[in-house]
Structure 1
Amino acid sequence: MKNEDFRNERLVPLSAMKDYKVAKDNPDVLGWRVVGADGESLGMVRDLIFDPAAMKVRYLAVLADRRFFNTGDDQRLLVPIGVAALDKKGKKVFVSAIDSNSVSSYPVYAGGPISEDYEYAVRDSLHRNQRDAMPGTTTEHRAEFDEALHEQKVRSGNMPSDFYNDASFDEDRFYTSDQEVYREKIYSTRDYDETVADTSTTDLHHEDRGPKSVEDSISTIERLEHLREKGSITQEEFILLKKRALDL
């Protein structure tokens, strides 16, 4: 299709934009296998969704494996580019926020113009997955997450100008990432998992070790702030982990 066919669209498949292509310094991920948090193959990258106004890629268009949807029809998913990471050597894309159990509940893209409702549904689905996957997440924390999502759903009829001002849509974060996926097992180069594991271990052994010291809590919060600044964790993850560090 020609560029003129998309003049009034906010988001456009990169394959349809003949005058645009992936920057030469960035890998072309079309055809790369998409791997979930549990090491299962979820599908394949078939296109990139481009924002012509901002000159940025917003989503990976993924053709999902049909086995997860119990259908003979192709199922397409749009995954925000910032929640994915590259395995450059293995030519795979790793998505930690989705696995073989949660992919069937991920919003399916039906094709055509990408609606604001679909983008909100994707955001909310990822936030719920991230919430449920966090070690030590309690019923109270889940309720806090749901309340935060509810507050974010205030819509003006137009996509807010700051909707994409989030690490989930940071294409630089995607293209500069590199992880290795061996034998369907994930070995992350990010330090997010290490910090979460450390926080979780502290919670698990809290009764044995006695109350956490102020110094321990401050040290944990400083690490979390560092990860938030780097974009390794979202604001919602930071809030919940901070509360756990303070025993709130």
Structure 2
Amino acid sequence: MKDKNKNLYYLHEISDYKVADSYPDVRDWEVIDADNRTIGKVDGLLVSKEADRVVYLDVEVDTSLIETGHETYAAPAKKGVHEFLNEEGENHLIIPIGMVTLDEENNKVHSKQIDYSTFAKTKRFKNGVDLERSYELTILTHYSPYNNFDEESDSENEFYNRKEYKPLT
């Protein structure tokens, strides 16, 4: 993906961005799902420059999650969305910042809205690849199947004004 079309940036890629003083830096924190199972650890923070804030946690998933979901296909959420199979080396996924709460005392991130099975069936990616909007929409549709997400209807800033991107802490 060319930089001019790039939508998301890792916090470490942007020299003039840092974690706000009022928020903890959750990188390396353990991620726990709705079933109180470990999903993995936060590897990075993804920023939308247009929205001017962190919008996703990049999670390096635990090997047990990969083993659980290695042969799982996601059902198409709508016409035009195809099934997929995670490939070897795809061990990262993203979670919208508004779908987690922080346990600062124990340095843990909780996603009480998403269970282990959903994470296991989620399309993952290889560390370091640029993420496209189509991947974001796939993830949103997978995590919130009853919402209607449309790439065409929102400007960049409006896209990240959804409840899924509003920090809960």
TM-score using structure 2 length: 0.77
Shift of 1:90: 0.5
User: Which consecutive unaligned segments of at least 5 residues does structure 2 have?
Assistant: 71-87
- Corresponding letter in the other structure for 2:123: P
Equivalent position SS for 2:55: strand
Q: Provide the residue aligned with 1:35 in structure 2.
A: 32
CA distance in 2, matches of 1:125, 1:96: 15
> 1:16, 1:64 → 2: CA distance?
22
Aligned match of 2:138: 121
- Does residue 81 of structure 2 align to residue 85 of structure 1? no
Task: Give the 5 Å matches for 1:199-238.
Answer: none
**Counterpart AA for 1:169:** Y
Letter in 1 for 2:122: Y
Q: Is the 8 A contact 2:40 2:61 kept in 1?
A: yes
Name 1:185's counterpart in structure 2.
none
Change in Cα spacing, 1:49 to 1:155, as seen in structure 2 (3 Å) is closer
User: What SS is found at the alignment partner of 1:101?
Assistant: helix
Which structure is richer in relative contact order (CA contacts within 8 A, separation 6 or more)?
Answer: 2
* 1:91 positional shift: 0.5
Out of 100, 103, 127, the residue aligned to residue 119 of structure 2 is 103
Q: Whole-Å Cα distance in 1 between the matches of residues 160 and 131 of structure 2?
A: 15
Aligned counterpart, 1:163: 159
2:66 alignment partner in structure 1: 69
In 2: Cα distance, 1:153 partner to 1:22 partner: 28
8 Å Cα contact 1:37/1:96 also seen in 2: yes
Quote how far apart the aligned CAs of 1:106 are.
1.4
SS at match of 1:69: helix
Over the matched positions of the two proteins, sequence identity in percent amounts to 28
CA distance in 2, matches of 1:14, 1:7: 17
Contact 2:137–2:151, Cα closer than 8 Å, also in 1? no
Q: CA deviation at 1:47?
A: 0.5
Equivalent runs, 1:149-188 vs 2, <5 Å: 149=147, 152=148, 154-156=150-152, 160-161=154-155, 162-171=158-167, 173=168, 177=169
> Does 2:41 align with 1:19?
no
Q: State the secondary structure of the residue aligned to 1:125.
A: helix
Q: Unaligned regions of 5+ residues in structure 1, if any?
A: 129-144, 178-248
> Could you tell me how far 1:83 is from its partner in structure 2?
0.4
Q: Count how many residue pairs are aligned between Structure 1 and Structure 2.
A: 146
Alignment-derived partner of residue 73 in structure 2: none
Q: Which has the larger radius of gyration?
A: 1
Rounded Cα–Cα distance in structure 2 between residues aligned with 1:50 and 1:155: 18
Task: Quickly say closer, same or farther: Cα 1:64–1:21, change in 2 above 3 A.
Answer: same
Distance 1:74 1:109 in 2: 4
Equivalent pair of 2:46/2:55 in contact (CA under 8 Å): yes
